[in-house]
Amino acid sequence: MNKAFCKEPEQSGRPLCPRCGAEGQVVTGATLEAHVSAGDAETLAEPVAWCDTESCPVAYFDSLERSIDVGRASGIHWPKDPAGVLCACHGLTCEDVDADLAEGEPQRVRGIVRRAGEPGAECALRSADGRSCVARVQRVYVRRLSGGR
Ligand SMILES: [Zn+2]
């Protein structure tokens, strides 16, 4: 078999955020369009990536160092929007996680993890970073469990 066909294309370099320099998470055009205006979406060329750095004001950017700030995007989830939801699909919030911790039983978190894995769940499309909410929900849970915000 020709080696070229086995090569991982993404190894050659994921786009780096022009503001903070972190590696971005490539998103689909559908994800981008779900969170910015059509006019803004047109200003970026594929591959478009999401900046996952908590303190960075950039939401999306492309390999030509053009970017769209969080303030111009909508439906941004925690932690870039500290008051934002964790799961844009099912509406889980940080308060829900706090309630779970207060009750000592992660019922809400378990429910979301279960529902996110079901067919028809749109977490990946509705999440600004194009990924399922499960990793994010677990991140908050573990962080709060250890006393962090
Ligand atoms: Zn950034």
pTM of the model: 0.81
Q: Strand ranges (DSSP E) for the chain? A: 25-27, 48-50, 58-62, 67-69
Supply 72's token pair: 């111009």
User: What's the pLDDT score for residue 149?
Assistant: 61
Distance (Å) from CA 72 to ligand 1 centroid: 15
Q: Where are the domains of the chain?
A: 9-72, 75-149
Q: Give the pLDDT confidence score for residue 97 in this predicted structure.
A: 94
Cα of 2 vs centre of ligand 1, distance in Å, is 37
Tokens of 37: 């205006």
- What integer is the mean pLDDT of 105-132? 87
Candidate from 33-37, 51-55, 62-66, 80-84 with smallest mean pLDDT: 80-84
Name the DSSP letter for residue 49: E
Handedness of CA 145, 105, 123, 134 (dihedral sign): positive
Question: Which pLDDT belongs to residue 106?
Answer: 92
* Digit-coded pLDDT (tens) for 135-149: 889 989 999 888 766
Mean of per-residue pLDDT scores for the chain: 88
CA of 4 to the centre of ligand 1 (A): 32
What is the fold, at CATH topology level, of the domain defined by 9-72? N-terminal domain of TfIIb (2.20.25)
The confidence band for 98, taking pLDDT boundaries of 50, 70 and 90, is very high
Q: Assess whether pLDDT exceeds 50 at residue 10.
A: no
Location of structure tokens 């786009």: 15
